Copies of this chain bind each other. A is one copy, B any other.
Amino acid sequence: MPKANPKAGPLPVVDQQVTNKIVGSAKDMHDKIVDGRKPSMKFPLRSLSNVRYTPKKGHFEMAGKKKERALTVSTVKTFAQTLRMISLSKRLIETDDFATKRDAYYQTKNWEEARCDEQVESDTIMDDIEAYFGVTKEALRFTPDEHGGLVAGELIVEDFEQGSREPLAIDCTKFGSGAYGISPSTIEEIGFKTKAKFILAIETGGIFERLNRHRYWEKANCILVSMAGVPTRAVRRFIRRLADEKKIPVYVFVDCDPYGIANIYRTLKVGSGNNAHLNEFFCVPQARFLGVTPQDIQDYKLPTHPLKDIDIKRAKDALKNDPFFQHYKEWARAFELLLKMGVRAEQQAFAKFDLNFVMDTYLPEKMAKTDKFLP
């Protein structure tokens, strides 16, 4: 059991909301037992067969199917595990602590008959609880064991000093050549102060470094986020909360290949097919595609590489099966152009002309017509 870590003052609002849900559900179950009825929990069915695409909301979401877990002889272990995991979450919140998914798995080792033999068991229980309460695992204080991405530019992150809970203002213009590393464990708690005009989400560390080192964020009055490939949950949630609260647009700058478009951009914008119960929190519907577009390859005469078989398969799959790309004719046209050209181009390809061409020419030219960005 985590040790008490006394905090000054009451629980933050987000924590209070989650604890209320936990206590409410526990009370409900307790009442049923006292009444001599079987306690049960209803979970939304987490599978592609229970997913709906809603363009207006901007992300895949769960259709209504639910599965019920009632306390019976055959479900007793899972039922006990679920309750213990919920109880662990409550303790984590009350002690202002967190557990990685791996930590939580090891904690189950003390649950005697209810212990998990593999991490996949405890992970599944967490997924269930997350869907059950309709809040993120992070809000339940379970965090993935991952890097959280880097941030630089016109943003002040409002956090608390751990322990004393003294407020802390972290100025993301003051890191020189370094950057602010997002913490996956407090992604729901931090606040934001900014006058930036937009967020630029970048695929590669190389371009992020270049723009940061040359203070592009100052010239363009923006916030730079390095995604380093497909963005982690922490990065997606960070961008989403920042964009929502400050009502600023999000522009995405990735390689022009099916991976950059269909994996990185699509996941950031509308979420993923499985885990649809999360997309509500982890997608960024306001994201728009700055580039590199297939049209840019022609307009800027970029150096290219031939599309690989896997690229072609991915592009065709997206056109044929992905409700997001099916919805937007612009994307269908862009993919068709890419397939016709048979090539891909990287965001670093602008370095052919001049190392800072991307900053001095490409980005300003694109930013002059943001209404032309792909949806």
Question: Given the interface contacts A175-B170, A356-B2, does A185 sit within 8 Å of B157 by beta carbon?
Answer: no
Residues of chain A at interface, number, CB under 8 A: 64
Residues in B with CB closer than 8 Å to A350 are 106
A21-29, A62-70, A141-149: which one contacts chain B? Answer: A141-149
Question: Given the interface contacts A2-B356, A102-B351, A103-B351, does A178 sit within 8 Å of B157 by beta carbon?
Answer: yes
Cβ of A20 within 8 Å of any chain B Cβ, yes or no, is no
Cβ of A16 within 8 Å of any chain B Cβ, yes or no, is no
CA–CA, A145 to B209, complex, Å? Answer: 9
B206 touches A177 (CB 8 A): no
B106 touches A215 (CB 8 A): no
Smallest distance from the beta carbon of A305 to chain B beta carbons, Å? 10
Binary CB contact string for chain A from 164 to 193 against chain B (1 if under 8 A, 0 otherwise): 000010100011111111111110011000
B176 touches A97 (CB 8 A): no
Residues in B with CB closer than 8 Å to A204 are 102, 145
Residues in B with CB closer than 8 Å to A205 are 100, 145-147, 184
**What is A's interface to B at a CB cutoff of 8 Å?**
1-3, 5, 97-100, 102-104, 106-107, 109-110, 143, 145-147, 150, 157, 159-163, 168, 170, 174-186, 189-190, 204-206, 209-210, 212-215, 228, 303, 346, 348-352, 354-356, 360
